[in-house]
Amino acid sequence: MTTCKLVMPGDMNHYGFLFGGKMLMWVDEVAWLSVSEDYPTLHFVTVGMSEVKFKKSVHPKSVLRFETRRQATGRTSVTYHVDVFCRQIESRDEEIVFSTDITFVCVDNNGVKTPIKP
């Protein structure tokens, strides 16, 4: 799944570039949308990310492109790989600024983990 986001001035930290927490929120959100699309009748919560490394600063008026693909399915969990690419509005040149594997666990209505049914 591909999702794009325009980085706005309100997303910045006090140094003037993207606040890392915003990036983590967007990665969580786009990957959660992927798992919800793949398993529309099930409920998922985030359990972890493999790595959190901000490779490059992201500046205002950048366009971020989130590429999400399912990587592994376990008994109760599903893992997605997410790459985030950045470009300036006026340019087509992208560079990768973040990537991680994010895992979701299937839960029932009480938030208790439950096997993923095909």
Ligand X SMILES: CC(C)(COP(=O)(O)OP(=O)(O)OC[C@H]1O[C@@H](n2cnc3c(N)ncnc32)[C@H](O)[C@@H]1OP(=O)(O)O)[C@@H](O)C(=O)NCCC(=O)NCCS
Binding site for ligand X (CB under 6 A): 45-48, 74-77, 103, 105, 107, 111, 113
Nearer to ligand X, 50 or 88 (CB): 50
Which structure tokens are listed for 42?
């099930």
Q: Minimal distance in Å, beta carbon 112 to ligand X?
A: 7
Nearer to ligand X, 16 or 111 (CB): 111
Q: Please return the burial class of 104, using the count of CB atoms within 10 Å of its CB with bins 0-12, 13-18 and 19+.
A: buried
Nearer to ligand X, 47 or 63 (CB): 47
Nearer to ligand X, 51 or 93 (CB): 51
Which structure tokens are listed for 40?
């529309």
DSSP state of 12: B
Q: Minimal distance in Å, beta carbon 65 to ligand X?
A: 24
- Three-state DSSP at 36 gives helix
DSSP state of 17: S
Q: Minimal distance in Å, beta carbon 5 to ligand X?
A: 20
Say how far apart CA 24 and CA 66 lie, in whole Å: 12
Say how far apart CA 28 and CA 95 lie, in whole Å: 20
Q: Minimal distance in Å, beta carbon 59 to ligand X?
A: 28
